[in-house]
């Protein structure tokens, strides 16, 4: 006896269509990501993170021990016009984030963040190890 399999012709046609947006050239459209450089310089770490088109007030940086988290609200719009007709309009609204750990704990009281020309610059001083303290027993 033959096995019968039910085939839905629309299943293959639309598979993956709603998962990843496709641009007008047929290429998968990627959500923006945060590209970074992290350098160690003496007693501090220097981080440069690219956040083009993001407003300073939409960026959040959290330092906890040796972990750094950067998040931002992203609004990207691109419109192509020809004459008076709009031929294409693309938008991305969402949140991007990136977290990473460094080798040493950070001194969050002396950490500094600057944002200019789409680049977030973090100066993250290393926490100085306090010498061990011997407790006297009462």
Spell out the domain ranges in the chain: 33-125
pLDDT in tens, 54-97: 899 999 999 999 999 999 998 776 666 667 776 666 667 788 89
User: In the structure, what pLDDT confidence band is assigned to residue 112 with cuts at 50, 70 and 90?
Assistant: very high
CATH code matching the domain that covers 33-125, chosen among 1.10.10.10, 2.60.40.790, 3.50.50.60, 3.30.530.20: 2.60.40.790
pLDDT in tens, 17-60: 444 444 545 555 555 689 999 999 999 999 999 998 889 999 99
pTM exceeding 0.85: no
Which residues have C-beta within 8 Å of that of residue 72, sequence separation ≥ 6? 34, 51, 54, 58, 59, 60, 95, 96, 97
SS (H, E, C) 91-136: EEEEEEEEEEECCCCECCCCCEEEEECCEEEEEEEECCCCCCCCCC
């Amino acid at each position: 006896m033959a096995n019968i399999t039910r085939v839905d012709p629309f299943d293959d046609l639309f598979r993956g269509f709603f998962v990843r947006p496709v641009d007008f050239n047929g290429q998968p459209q990627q959500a923006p990501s945060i590209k970074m450089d992290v350098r160690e310089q003496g007693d501090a770490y220097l981080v440069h993170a690219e956040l083009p088109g993001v407003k300073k007030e939409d960026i959040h940086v959290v330092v906890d021990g040796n972990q750094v988290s950067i998040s931002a609200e992203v609004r990207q719009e691109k419109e192509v016009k020809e004459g008076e007709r709009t031929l294409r309009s693309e938008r991305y609204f969402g949140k991007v984030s990136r977290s990473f750990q460094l080798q040493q704990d950070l001194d969050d009281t002396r950490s500094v963040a600057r944002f200019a020309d789409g680049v977030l610059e973090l100066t993250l001083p290393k926490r100085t190890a306090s010498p061990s303290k011997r407790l006297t027993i009462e």
